[in-house]
Amino acid sequence: MSRLDFFKTTPIHKEYIILDYLSKNAKVTQRDISSVASISLAMVNQYLDTYEKEGYLSKVYLNNKNMEYHITEKGIQRKKYLNIKYLESARDVYQDAKANIKVFLNDIMSKGFRKILLYGAGDVADIILLVINSEPEINLEVCGIIDDNPAKHGSKIFSTKIIGINDLKVHEHDAVLIASYAYYEKMYDNLIKNNYDKNKILKYFGWGELMKITIVGTGYVGLSNAVLLSQFNEVTAFDINESKINLINQKISPIVDKELEEYITHKELKLKASIYEDVAFDNPKFIIIATPTNYDSQLNYFDTSSVDQTIEKINKRELKSTVIIKSTVPVGYTEEISKKYPNLEIIFSPEFLREGKALYDNLYPSRIIIGSNSENAKAFANLLLQGSLKENTPVLFTGSTEAEAIKLFSNTYLALRVAFFNELDTYAEIRGLNTKEIIEGVGLDPRIGSHYNNPSFGYGGYCLPKDTKQLLANYQDIPQNIMTAIVDANRTRKDHIAEMILSRKPNKVGIYRLVMKNDSDNFRSSSIQGIMKRIKAKGIEVIVFEPVLTEDTFYNSKVERDFEKFIAEADVIVSNRFYKELEKVKDKVYTRDIFNRD
């Protein structure tokens, strides 16, 4: 447990705060709840929806704009339960924090300090004073507590008087201990402005004590990890793309992702971005590699050159950093590269992120997989847990090759599920059956479930296409049928979709959005591009509507930026997912989006 964890509000506590607040205040806005619980409006809405589904509260609409939230009896019982659980957790956390504080105070005494002033008359000062007063071996005298709020001056905490910063010289002391996390930097600056000796400023919290982490690559994986970890650590994001670096330093997300945009713009993150290697590789504790890799099925070759080059640079600089590979690599890669660089500790830790939900999936991870059982591996797992909001996240420490296999098999299974429901839909479409009814009936079996079952034009995006092909290549000398079928099924699905579009005998086909999912700006390897190529191969003219594109053409097809012109020109509008903008021309639209969701 880190020093910061003791003062970090847990998800259980936040849930308790919200229920307690609503039990006392029915007429509140979501913004009020956001302020009280210190969470985003989006998270407030998520909590309230969950409470309503679970029967913890009911909503009473007063008019079109206002409502009241009424806690039910079930909600009251839930609040009592959460209160007990939080107190149990707080007891255990307090014992750990007390031990950490004792270590810190003993360190202060070892440096010769005996008389100190605390800065910040809040909860942290309470805890520190409690430890000092209850532990006879802590031979420290707290001469006073500085606080910037004049209303507190003259009052006491455990018989220790609260004073203003102007009274510094009046009280004999050896050093000032800043007892605040949230206002550490402001307090430090105030002391420096008052010409206080910086060598006598003691830091229980503070930027200087935070772990230094460098992340190489600012795509979905790199940027989401940078944001997650920079909540409580000093993080440098390194990339050769200067425009992305500039956006990050301006607190603007270069990626369309709701949570990323919210955190980068509004959260106080200890995050900086740079294009300079000397800045990025300034002796960080961890270097996380999140650079792009790709698999060429024609050459049976997985291009890991970006990872190779980064590790070589780290080795040349003789850094003692632990290297964490987040990029997808072939099975066995980490073991081989570790043999090449025996002086480096190289750990593979796979990501399981959805496009458009990259940070959300880091804040609420399904699991954390670390391909090592070393002390640094455990420390890195704790960093991921520290930044997340989910409780009781499963953490699995494995061998490096097993971790690599977990990544590929996980994504291949997801591709299998996509392919299965796509082939179900192909069958239903050709036979004239109701796809939705069949899928709903199949999904009622709890062993199958109703998740990840919406038909599409095929799996695509950053991971599934290359991971399935890479895993298939790993089966070169191993008996199998399913792995080949998964890859073939995706190709067959695109053939079928193209044939169904061509059966409408269009003169001009409009491709509406190249992106894979709603709320995403990624169209890398999107399945609709395969449909587009098949249609063009038959001599059909294709136009594209994609706001993300800045070019006037896309693979020699015209990009139409005027939506009204686009829908007027196209005989058939092809869309992997149905958007509400298409409602007025739905008779022209060809999609297999049965459930109107990703």
The stretch 281-308 carries a mean pLDDT of: 87
What is the Cα Rg of the chain in Å? 28
* pLDDT > 70? residue 6: no
Q: What is the CATH number of the domain that holds 62?
A: 1.10.10.10
Q: Which residues are CB-contacts of 64 (< 8 A; sequence separation ≥ 6)? A: none
**Prediction pTM value:** 0.66
Judge whether 452 is annotated as a binding position: yes
Q: Using a pLDDT cut of 70, give the percent of the chain over it.
A: 94
Q: Are residues 471 and 577 in the same domain?
A: yes
Judge whether 367 is annotated as a binding position: no
Q: What is the CATH number of the domain that holds 190?
A: 3.40.50.720
What is the residue type of 427?
Y
Judge whether 453 is annotated as a binding position: yes
For residue 557, tell me if it sits in a domain. yes
Q: Are residues 291 and 373 in the same domain?
A: yes
Give the tens place of pLDDT for each residue, 332-380.
999 999 999 999 999 999 999 887 889 999 999 999 999 999 989 998 9
- Final residue of a domain: which of 147, 177, 208? 208
Q: Are residues 428 and 523 in the same domain?
A: yes
For residue 105, tell me if it sits in a domain. no
* pLDDT > 70? residue 4: no
Q: Are residues 475 and 454 in the same domain?
A: yes
Q: Are residues 228 and 308 in the same domain?
A: yes
* pLDDT > 70? residue 395: yes
Judge whether 56 is annotated as a binding position: no
Helix spans in 159-241 (H): 184-193, 220-229
Question: What local confidence, expressed as pLDDT, does residue 206 receive?
Answer: 47
Q: Are residues 439 and 335 in the same domain?
A: no
Cα 590 from chain centroid? 34
Residue 32 near residue 51 (C-beta atoms within 8 A): no
Give the tens place of pLDDT for each residue, 497-512.
999 999 999 999 999 9
Judge whether 282 is annotated as a binding position: no
* pLDDT > 70? residue 520: no
Residue 8, both tokens: 């970090």
Judge whether 205 is annotated as a binding position: no
Q: Are residues 337 and 351 in the same domain?
A: yes
The stretch 114-121 carries a mean pLDDT of: 93
Question: What local confidence, expressed as pLDDT, does residue 260 receive?
Answer: 94
Residue bearing the bigger pLDDT, 35 or 266: 266
Q: Are residues 376 and 283 in the same domain?
A: yes
Alpha carbon distance 244, 594 (integer Å): 36
Question: What local confidence, expressed as pLDDT, does residue 205 receive?
Answer: 64
Judge whether 454 is annotated as a binding position: yes
* pLDDT > 70? residue 64: no
Q: Are residues 160 and 85 in the same domain?
A: no
For residue 249, tell me if it sits in a domain. yes
Judge whether 516 is annotated as a binding position: yes
Catalytic hit among 463, 489, 543, 573: 463
Q: Is 463 a catalytic residue?
A: yes
For residue 263, tell me if it sits in a domain. yes
Per-residue pLDDT band for 5 (boundaries 50, 70, 90) equals very low
Judge whether 198 is annotated as a binding position: no
Judge whether 433 is annotated as a binding position: no
Judge whether 455 is annotated as a binding position: yes
Residue ranges of E strands in 349-416: 368-370, 395-397
Judge whether 408 is annotated as a binding position: no
Question: What local confidence, expressed as pLDDT, does residue 517 receive?
Answer: 65
The stretch 204-216 carries a mean pLDDT of: 73
- Burial environment of residue 28 by CB neighbours within 10 A (0 to 12, 13 to 18, 19 or more): middle
What is the extent of the structural domain holding 66?
A: 3-90
* pLDDT > 90? residue 583: yes
For residue 103, tell me if it sits in a domain. no
Q: Are residues 122 and 11 in the same domain?
A: no
- Final residue of a domain: which of 159, 190, 208? 208
For residue 302, tell me if it sits in a domain. yes
Cα 137 from chain centroid? 43
Distance (Å) of CA 423 to CA 193, 379, 467, 468: 70, 44, 20, 17
Total domain count, the chain:
4
For residue 298, tell me if it sits in a domain. yes
Q: Are residues 65 and 159 in the same domain?
A: no
For residue 169, tell me if it sits in a domain. yes
Q: Which residues are CB-contacts of 181 (< 8 A; sequence separation ≥ 6)? A: 4, 7, 124, 205
Q: Are residues 125 and 11 in the same domain?
A: no
